[in-house]
Amino acid sequence: MFKLCNSTGYTYDMNVYLGKDRQRAVQHPTATHATVTNLTRGVEGLGHKLYMDNFFSSPDLFDDLTQKKISCCGTLRLHRKGMPKDLKPKTLRLKHGDIQVRTRGDLTAVVWKDKRDVCLLTNIHDPLREGNYRDEHGNAIKPEIVADYNRHMGHVDNAERMANSYTASRRTWKWTKKLFFHLLDLAIVNSYILLSSCGGKKISHRDFQLTLIREMLARSGREPRPSMSVGRPASASNNTRRLDTRHNKHWPGRSNTKR
């Protein structure tokens, strides 16, 4: 599932992967290009900043989104089409703390050597100066572009974490049923985020979900029940009558055991 989220974890849009879409593949250079273009249709022309990982990033995609007034930053695979040849993995020989920078217009590619090569592509940040940057202990100094990416990336993961915190889904279910309940969990998370943005008394995600369950149960108890079937009643009908919510609120009781 591909998602577009903001800094609070609110899910703007999503796309369930159901196999390669040949029609979109013809209209766009790559399938990932088509996915990002489809998800960002609702935020075009608003000047948003979009952060993504190396599964989606490419120079062609960033150029396309810039025309739609969407600035971008993301990690990048060095073999992507449009990348400088001297930044290819086989040609780079960086030492610990080295920074290599290449620019084209407002597009900047940065390769930073930490424990491994970290490549980022951006049109949000100013170009860095090349060189070797290490502190007095010999540790590589993290560039500001890397720190900014780490701060803003992961909002989709935050939304997933909140949706899976109190989910009803089970591992043994078929994927269609899992998807249905995951969409329900996302709807609850979105409503919780909207409530939190309105101000007032703060409430935790857990308490919000418990309140929502109680109110839904209370409302279902006031709904009219279907008429009883005509015929001779069973002998145990009087005993089961007490379970009917019209006559008695028979709520589950609390227990100290896990079962």
Rounded CA-CA distance 167/181 in Å is 8
Phi, psi of 16, rounded to the nearest 5 degrees = -85, 125
From CA 194, how far away is CA 212, in angstroms rounded? 14
Per-residue pLDDT tens digits for 96-116: 889 989 999 899 999 998 888
Q: Residue 246 pLDDT > 60, yes or no?
A: no
Average pLDDT for the chain: 84
- Containing H/E element for 92? none
- Asked whether the predicted pLDDT for residue 151 surpasses 70, the reply is yes
Residue 209 — very low, low, confident or very high, per pLDDT cuts 50/70/90? very high
Which residues, at least 6 apart from 252, have a Cβ–Cβ distance to it below 8 Å?
Answer: none
pTM tops 0.85? no
Query: Which two three-digit tokens encode residue 154?
Result: 């992961």
Percentage above 90 pLDDT, the chain: 29
